[in-house]
């Protein structure tokens, strides 16, 4: 069986976390990729889910007098409901407490063990329970606080199974060398390479001090390290180990989208586990940046955590999706603020896109009784430029999307929207109407609908519900879902006679 499916993943989220815009960011980005690929006619498998084992969850559950699984079952809906609300089109949702996953982790562990890459030893180091990460004395730099989250670390000494990560130092470096696009963006790749060059210690991959996890095969006193457990979700969902036929159609992942904080796990540990088990490696790991809020790190204690539910309730899912991907070049850090969000809604969604659609369709309602006119005049010079601009935009969007550069795709689209609003101003259909120049008026209005048709296709991965609404308003008889990206690279598919509808403002304006 050969690989046939484009496979995109988000990390699996800690089930007891309350979702915030940082979580929404990874998932929205993955959704945009999935929708873009489907629009290109590719088969897509888009996976997200929840990470449910580990000491932190065990402690939280015990503190509230619950079993860990009860806690997980109770809170997993926070993620499921948010993804529905944000229009996330995932094909599967994996929970690490599911039977299929337990089987998969057990099998991966067994394979790596059989390869001789797991041995029993003793571990002693500093440990951050919150991040489930061990830290060396050097990494702590004399402090007793976790370098990632700032919480106190604990001294931990226990019998532990180790994975021979040190053995994979050279194979990993060779792999990065042979696959220069594996880690994106390039500056992150350099960070990972220098980390690996600095030397890899064997990795402790089991615990005995708590029990909420997947037991080590043949030694259930140990549970498997949460990261070994969690990373394996990416092969569980496509069918490992029970349905290897389906598995080989989907795996390897084409892209793992992750935040920069968990790149090390995905770009070092994960490929090493897979190499050891003799499984193919993912094609790309893309690490995005970190969101702050009004210049500050989000934290419960500061009370500045932005709940994506609130943003969606107030502005709609498309506004949040658009803002997250437009505001920051994908890969860099960004800052969330209400002022910035409203600025983009008013300036770009309402005045830019919304205005173009509403004035164009409004004029067709007024001057053409709502029917798209026949473009009778042979294409004029200005219309030729519109056509070229549209075609160039579609090419730019495609190229940017293949490079996971959402901001570049959106910049190109809004450049085209600006161009089209200028086209309306300069070709002044109202004067053509007044002077009775029906032929030219028909051509201009048809050109507008044709451009809006292309815009709806280009925008669909980013703002699916607004695009569907725009599509409905231009009156195309085909459903948007039946369209292909290649139709955005074709000029002239808008048919005279389509019944348009101006409707209410697509994006209301907000007070700052």
Among all chains, which residue has been given the structure tokens 């629009």? Answer: 39
Residue pair 46/28 in contact (Cβ under 8 Å)? The answer is: no
Measured between alpha carbons, how far is 443 from 381 in angstroms, rounded to an integer? 12
| Closest by CA position to 483, among listed 499, 468, 463, 496 | 468
The count of residues interacting with ligand MSP (CB under 6 A) is 20
Looking only at residues 262 through 281 of this chain, which bind ligand MSP when binding is defined by CB under 6 A? 262
Q: Does position 291 bind ligand MSP by CB under 6 A?
A: yes
Q: How far is the CB of 113 from ligand MSP (least distance, A)?
A: 21
The answer to the question of residue 298 lying near ligand MSP (CB under 6 A) is yes
Tell me the two tokens of residue 42. 């590719």
Residue 461 CB, nearest distance to ligand MSP (Å)? 20
Instruction: List all residues 6 or more positions away from 350 whose beta carbon is below 8 Å from its beta carbon.
Output: 505, 506, 507, 508, 509
Smallest separation (angstroms) from ligand MSP to the CB of 1:
25
For position 290 contacting ligand MSP by CB under 6 A, the verdict is yes
Using CB under 6 A, which of the segments 107-115, 290-298, 389-397, 468-476 binds ligand MSP?
A: 290-298
25 binds ligand MSP per the rule CB under 6 A:
yes
Task: Pick between residue 14 and residue 127 the one whose CB is nearest to ligand MSP.
Answer: 14
Cα 283 to the chain's mean position, in Å?
Answer: 16
Rounded to whole angstroms, how far apart are CA atoms 176 and 15? 32
Question: Does 430 engage in binding with ligand MSP (CB under 6 A)?
Answer: no
**What's the CA gap between 61 and 183, in Å, rounded?**
36
Strands 206-207 and 203-204, by their bridges, are unpaired
Binding ligand MSP by CB under 6 A: which of 47, 183, 196, 258?
258
Residue 251 touching ligand MSP (CB under 6 A)? no
Is there binding between residue 185 and ligand MSP (CB under 6 A)? Answer: no
| Binding piece for ligand MSP, criterion CB under 6 A, among 63-71, 227-235, 340-348, 407-415 | 227-235
Position among 68, 259, 373, 475 found at the interface with ligand MSP (CB under 6 A): 259
**In degrees, to the nearest 5, what angle opens at C-alpha 108 toward C-alphas 104 and 113?**
145
Question: How far is the C-alpha of 225 from the C-alpha of 205, rounded, in Å?
Answer: 5
In angstroms, the CA 459 to CA 257 distance is: 21
Q: Can you tell me which of 72, 231, 285, 390 binds ligand MSP, judged by CB under 6 A?
A: 231
Count how many Cα atoms sit within 13 Å of the Cα of residue 47 in the half-sphere of its side chain.
30
**Binds ligand MSP by CB under 6 A, chosen from 31, 51, 348, 469:** 51
Give yes or no for residue 261 binding ligand MSP (CB under 6 A): yes
Residues that bind ligand MSP (CB under 6 A): 11-14, 17, 22-23, 25-26, 51, 230-231, 233, 258-259, 261-262, 290-291, 298
């Amino acid at each position: 069986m050969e690989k046939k499916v484009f496979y995109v993943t988000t990390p699996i989220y800690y089930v007891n976390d309350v979702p915030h815009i940082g979580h929404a960011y990874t998932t929205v980005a993955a959704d945009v990729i999935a929708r873009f690929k489907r629009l290109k006619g590719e088969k897509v498998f888009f996976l997200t889910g929840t990470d449910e084992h580990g000491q932190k969850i065990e402690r939280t559950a015990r503190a509230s007098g619950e079993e860990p699984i009860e806690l997980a079952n109770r809170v997993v809906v926070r993620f499921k409901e948010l993804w529905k609300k944000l229009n996330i089109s995932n094909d599967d949702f994996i929970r690490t407490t599911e039977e299929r996953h337990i089987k998969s982790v057990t099998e991966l562990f067994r394979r790596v063990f059989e390869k001789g890459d797991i041995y029993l030893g003793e571990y002693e180091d500093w440990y951050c329970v919150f991040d489930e990460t061990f830290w060396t004395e050097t990494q702590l730099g004399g402090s007793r606080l976790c370098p990632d989250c700032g919480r106190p670390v604990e001294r931990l000494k226990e019998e532990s199974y180790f994975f021979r990560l040190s053995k994979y130092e050279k194979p990993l470096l060779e792999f990065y060398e042979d696959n220069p696009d594996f880690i994106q963006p390039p500056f992150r790749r350099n960070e990972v390479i220098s980390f690996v060059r600095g030397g890899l210690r064997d990795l402790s991959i089991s615990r005995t001090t708590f029990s909420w996890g997947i037991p080590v095969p043949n030694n259930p006193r140990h549970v498997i390290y949460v990261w070994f457990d969690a990373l394996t979700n990416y092969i569980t969902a496509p069918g490992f180990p029970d349905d290897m036929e389906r598995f080989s159609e989907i795996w390897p992942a084409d892209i793992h989208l992750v935040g920069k904080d968990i790149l090390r796990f995905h770009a070092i540990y994960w490929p090493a586990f897979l190499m050891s088990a003799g499984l193919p490696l993912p094609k790309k790991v893309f690490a995005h940046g970190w969101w702050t809020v009004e210049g500050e790190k989000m934290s419960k204690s500061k009370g500045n955590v932005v709940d994506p539910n609130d943003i969606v309730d107030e502005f709609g899912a498309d506004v949040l999706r658009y803002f997250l991907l437009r505001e920051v070049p994908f890969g860099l850090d960004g800052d969330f603020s209400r002022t910035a969000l409203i600025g983009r809604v008013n300036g770009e969604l309402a005045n830019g896109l919304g205005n173009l659609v509403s004035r164009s369709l409004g004029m067709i309602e007024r001057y053409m009784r709502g029917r798209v006119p026949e473009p009778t005049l042979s294409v004029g010079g200005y219309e030729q430029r519109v056509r070229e601009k549209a075609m160039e935009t579609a090419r730019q969007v495609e190229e940017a999307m293949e490079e996971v550069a959402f901001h570049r795709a959106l910049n190109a689209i809004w450049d085209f929207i600006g161009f089209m609003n200028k086209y309306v101003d300069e070709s002044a259909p109202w004067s053509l109407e007044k002077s009775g120049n029906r032929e030219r008026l028909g051509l201009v209005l048809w050109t507008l609908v044709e451009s809006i048709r292309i815009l709806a296709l280009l925008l669909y991965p980013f703002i699916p519900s607004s695009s569907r609404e725009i599509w409905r308003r231009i009156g195309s008889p085909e459903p948007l879902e039946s369209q292909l990206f290649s139709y955005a690279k074709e000029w002239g598919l808008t048919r005279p006679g389509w019944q348009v509808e101006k409707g209410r403002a697509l994006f209301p304006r907000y007070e700052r």
